[in-house]
A and B are shown apart, each in its own frame.
Chain A
Amino acid sequence: MFNPEYLSLIYAGLMALAVLVYAILDGYDLGVGMMIPLDDKETADTMIASIGPFWDANETWLVLAVGLAFIAFPQAHSMILQALYIPVVFLLFGLIMRGVAFDFRAKARVKRQRRWDKVFKFGSLLTSFAQGYMLGLYVIGFDNTPLAHAFAIFSGIGVVCAYGLIGSAWLIMKCEGKLQQDAISWCKKFARVAFVGVLLVSIINPVINEWIYERWFDLPMALVVMPAPIICLSLFVILELVLQKLPKSPNSGAWLPFLISAFIFVLCFFGLVYSFYPFVVPGKLTIFEAVADASALTFLLYGVVIVVPTLIAYTLFSYRVFWGKVQPLSYY
């Protein structure tokens, strides 16, 4: 049996990994979902085809993240979910809508397909916004004040833009022609708004939380971690420059915006984790206080060690199978 302190760290690390992978992977397919046009069936079909083989597995990372919280930090899991009861339900409604609309739209009568497209688009938007809203309430410690909710709304818009950014970067990579050009201009817009969002959060957070300020600006750690926000903000500049040059012929570099966006996600996530570690419920509960029974976690760890590498391997295999520009989807 492992020492509880190591188990807290291992499971917190796994949970962080699951959340980050989720944000990047489901982030792009939610982003694509938000952007589908309602008046152009062909474009909508292409966009949806680009995420078709992946969305289901992407969403599973959310289940893993929530599941790991449930298993490793049960008290935190129930505190967070009860505090976020209503936004969680909106998140679930959003996930339900888009998950089913994806399949119904392909099979319904033609006149009903447009209706399912609306459901898909709205569901994607609702899911993204709810996640951002929840993130906002989480970082502000679940305060129930108008200011806290205003911050949560701001955070909701931020996440919508972040998903829009990575979603349009995905489309640049997977599509050609007019849609690719549209995606480039969407990507520029989302990147600019997301840039402002990241900048504001980076300023607001240390200002309102003294301990976050100390963590980031106390020497000598400041020297080690300060490059993160600087690199993050410069990545936005690089992204802008790359987008100016796209599309190229032949289609070289179309994957760059996605890679840069993913890096931006990683750095922002690092910033968040660094600000709040070792808290799992900000200001209330640390991972060491919340950790569950060591023997149960040790039992699950055997599975984790064997399964997670396998899981990553077949996920990569699946991405390789559907590598390259998107092709029309048909059920075979």
Chain B
Amino acid sequence: MLDTLLLSRIQFAANISFHILFPTITIALAWFLAFFKLKYDLTGHPVWLRAYRFWVKIFALSFALGVVSGITMSFQFGTNWPGFMEKVGNIAGPLLGYEVLTAFFMEATFLGIMLFGMKRVPPKIHTLATFLVAIGTTLSAFWILSLNSWMQTPTGFELRDGIVYPTDWFEVIFNPSFGYRFFHMLLASALTASFLIAGVSAYRMLKNDEKHAPKKALTVALTVAALLTPIQAFVGDLHGLNTLKHQPQKIAAMEGVWETEKGAPLLLFAIPNEEEKRNDFAIGIPNMASFILTHDVNGEIKGLNEFKGEHPPVKPVFFGFRIMVGMGMLMILVAFVTRFTLWKKGELPKWQLKALVAMTFSGWIATLAGWYVTEIGRQPYIVSGVLRVEDAVTTIASENVLFTLVGYLTIYAILLYAYIRTLFHTASKSVEVEEYDMKEFAEEVTRV
């Protein structure tokens, strides 16, 4: 029988998975929009305005989906995880409070001006509003990532009667893993938005969109992707070293290391076998995991067996990590090849455009896989070493949770379908009926 704990976990996992898709887009897309708008203000060239006008629609849609699923999450803390705030509310509360006060209102208010106010305010104010929305989305990520990092590597608090009390807010906010997570997430967002812009622009070009805006947006997006993919790999590596230091059990699960060993191999493929505490069908590069993680071919990596009852379920973490890294490598490859072709030939052959369309949502896949690694990797704790998941869950009857879970899953499935459809519908519509023709600007555009 499904119990309240399991159902609540599935419900929260579903909710957070759905929610994260949209901030992942909007955090960086807001900066792309600010860039397009600034370029338009500086050059006065309509191609930037067109890029802005197309992507601001997608931004609005993504933002709306992020808002509604975010509100749902803020309620779920109370409905499904009352133990969370009873035990750690003194820290989680103010961090979330600062998010709402500093970021949420700012985004939501200036979004109105950004979306509908261009004719009503001077251009500078409109550009400022666009920047404020971008700053708001980033600030929002700052607070949320701070809280999430604190849950992974808690510092700056003391426990009294099982309840957490803050002792040093600076240590709480800038806890040991915060910097790595924050930049890893910002880069993830930048890449997700880049591949989305590149994919949808490529789709328009494949549909014979003769206008210049898609190509301009595509070029900007691919430049950003080519610059940032290697940086993301580097930051990810640093993040891994930080995790080894603070959460060795998570690394052991990611690498599939059961017994503590020196010179651990890097497993390219394996099926972790939790009953027998070993891997089946393992293919690996000898000594490589030790080398990457400790920068010593014979470095020691602690095995899962040292963390009996305290280590996460191995399979999802192990595979999640491989999906994230695999997708990341593919993104590096595609970004480099397409940006190079664009630089050499000035345009992309059809097969490369198609590849970009296929990669439209690659950022989503990598981000989700990464989040599963980090979140499942913290199990069985909600707050590492402080609060276990089963001590935070609600006492509501499981039928109620099941009922609402089915409701959420249905709504989310419909919305995701509608979102993707609408995204490509908006793209095809703009191929047919863009507001004004740009022929007279064609020459100028090539020089921009």
- In the assembled complex, the CB of A17 is this many whole angstroms from the nearest CB of chain B, namely 13
Confirm or deny: A202 has a beta carbon within 8 angstroms of a beta carbon on chain B.
no
Confirm or deny: B120 has a beta carbon within 8 angstroms of a beta carbon on chain A.
yes
Q: Which residue of A lies closest to B132 (CB)?
A: A314
A300 touches B394 (CB 8 A): no
The stretch that binds B, out of A32-40, A177-185, A187-195, A304-312, is A304-312
A53 touches B93 (CB 8 A): no
Confirm or deny: A60 has a beta carbon within 8 angstroms of a beta carbon on chain B.
yes
Residue from A71, A100, A292, A315 in contact with B96 in the complex, judged by beta carbons closer than 8 Å: A71
Q: Which residue of B lies closest to A65 (CB)?
A: B100
Residue from A59, A299, A315 in contact with B71 in the complex, judged by beta carbons closer than 8 Å: A59
Confirm or deny: B121 has a beta carbon within 8 angstroms of a beta carbon on chain A.
yes
A300 touches B98 (CB 8 A): yes
Confirm or deny: B195 has a beta carbon within 8 angstroms of a beta carbon on chain A.
no
A52 touches B112 (CB 8 A): yes
Given A59-B108, A82-B82, A303-B101, verify A70-B116 contact (CB < 8 Å): no
A322 touches B120 (CB 8 A): yes
A59 to B69 alpha-carbon distance, docked (Å): 13
Chain B positions 62-105 with a Cβ under 8 Å from a chain A Cβ: 63-65, 67-72, 74-75, 77-79, 82, 85-86, 89-91, 93-94, 96-98, 100-102, 104-105
Contact mask for chain B residues 125-166; partner A; CB cutoff 8 A; 1 contact, 0 none: 000000000000000000000000000000000000000011
The range of chain B's interface size is 35 or more
- In the assembled complex, the CB of A66 is this many whole angstroms from the nearest CB of chain B, namely 6
Q: Which residue of B lies closest to A98 (CB)?
A: B68
B residues within 8 A CB of A299?
Answer: 94, 166, 169
A303 to B407 alpha-carbon distance, docked (Å): 37
Residue from A60, A329, A331 in contact with B53 in the complex, judged by beta carbons closer than 8 Å: A331
Contact mask for chain B residues 106-128; partner A; CB cutoff 8 A; 1 contact, 0 none: 10111111011111110000000
Confirm or deny: A157 has a beta carbon within 8 angstroms of a beta carbon on chain B.
no
Residue from B67, B102, B117, B165 in contact with A53 in the complex, judged by beta carbons closer than 8 Å: B117
Confirm or deny: A266 has a beta carbon within 8 angstroms of a beta carbon on chain B.
no
Given A82-B82, A300-B97, A307-B101, verify A322-B117 contact (CB < 8 Å): yes
Confirm or deny: B426 has a beta carbon within 8 angstroms of a beta carbon on chain A.
yes
The stretch that binds B, out of A85-93, A256-264, A269-277, is A85-93
Contact mask for chain B residues 408-426; partner A; CB cutoff 8 A; 1 contact, 0 none: 0001000100100010011
Confirm or deny: B323 has a beta carbon within 8 angstroms of a beta carbon on chain A.
no
A107 touches B78 (CB 8 A): no
Confirm or deny: A13 has a beta carbon within 8 angstroms of a beta carbon on chain B.
no
A residues within 8 A CB of B71?
Answer: 59, 62-63, 92, 95
Confirm or deny: A209 has a beta carbon within 8 angstroms of a beta carbon on chain B.
no
Given A52-B112, A53-B113, A96-B68, verify A67-B422 contact (CB < 8 Å): no
Q: Which residue of A lies closest to B415 (CB)?
A: A100
- In the assembled complex, the CB of A58 is this many whole angstroms from the nearest CB of chain B, namely 8
A109 to B169 alpha-carbon distance, docked (Å): 50
Given A78-B85, A81-B79, A86-B400, verify A314-B72 contact (CB < 8 Å): no
A78 touches B78 (CB 8 A): yes
A residues within 8 A CB of B93?
Answer: 67, 70-72, 74, 292, 296, 300
Q: Is the interface of A mostly helix, strand, loop or mixed?
A: helix
Given A67-B97, A322-B116, A332-B53, verify A59-B411 contact (CB < 8 Å): no
Confirm or deny: A251 has a beta carbon within 8 angstroms of a beta carbon on chain B.
no
- In the assembled complex, the CB of B370 is this many whole angstroms from the nearest CB of chain A, namely 26
A residues within 8 A CB of B85?
Answer: 70, 74, 77-78
Confirm or deny: B57 has a beta carbon within 8 angstroms of a beta carbon on chain A.
yes
A66 touches B67 (CB 8 A): no
A85 touches B60 (CB 8 A): no
A residues within 8 A CB of B68?
Answer: 95-96, 99-100
B residues within 8 A CB of A89?
Answer: 79, 404, 407
Given A78-B85, A93-B407, A296-B166, verify A63-B116 contact (CB < 8 Å): no
B residues within 8 A CB of A52?
Answer: 112, 115-116
A303 touches B60 (CB 8 A): no
A274 to B311 alpha-carbon distance, docked (Å): 52
A293 touches B108 (CB 8 A): no
A332 touches B118 (CB 8 A): yes
A321 to B100 alpha-carbon distance, docked (Å): 23
Residue from A59, A104, A300 in contact with B418 in the complex, judged by beta carbons closer than 8 Å: A104
A128 to B89 alpha-carbon distance, docked (Å): 29
Confirm or deny: A57 has a beta carbon within 8 angstroms of a beta carbon on chain B.
yes
A residues within 8 A CB of B64?
Answer: 56, 99-100, 102-103
Q: Which residue of A lies closest to B89 (CB)?
A: A74
A56 to B100 alpha-carbon distance, docked (Å): 13
B residues within 8 A CB of A244?
Answer: none
Q: Which residue of B lies closest to A293 (CB)?
A: B90
B residues within 8 A CB of A78?
Answer: 78, 82, 85-86
Confirm or deny: B271 has a beta carbon within 8 angstroms of a beta carbon on chain A.
no
Confirm or deny: B282 has a beta carbon within 8 angstroms of a beta carbon on chain A.
no
Confirm or deny: B61 has a beta carbon within 8 angstroms of a beta carbon on chain A.
yes
Confirm or deny: B56 has a beta carbon within 8 angstroms of a beta carbon on chain A.
yes
User: Which positions in B face A, CB cutoff 8 Å?
Assistant: 53, 56-57, 60-61, 63-65, 67-72, 74-75, 77-79, 82, 85-86, 89-91, 93-94, 96-98, 100-102, 104-106, 108-113, 115-121, 165-166, 169, 394-396, 400, 403-404, 407, 411, 415, 418, 422, 425-426
Provide 14 A-B residue pairs closer than 8 Å at the C-beta atoms, listed in order of the A residue. A54-B112, A60-B108, A63-B100, A70-B85, A70-B89, A77-B85, A81-B82, A82-B79, A93-B411, A95-B71, A292-B90, A299-B169, A307-B105, A321-B120
- 17 extra A-B contacts, CB within 8 A, seeds A60-B108, A74-B89: A57-B109, A63-B70, A63-B74, A67-B97, A70-B78, A70-B85, A82-B78, A89-B407, A96-B411, A100-B64, A100-B68, A107-B57, A109-B425, A296-B90, A296-B166, A297-B94, A332-B118
Please list the 7 inter-chain residue pairs (A to B) with the smallest Cβ-Cβ separation, ordered nearest first: A81-B78, A71-B93, A53-B112, A78-B82, A332-B118, A99-B68, A57-B108
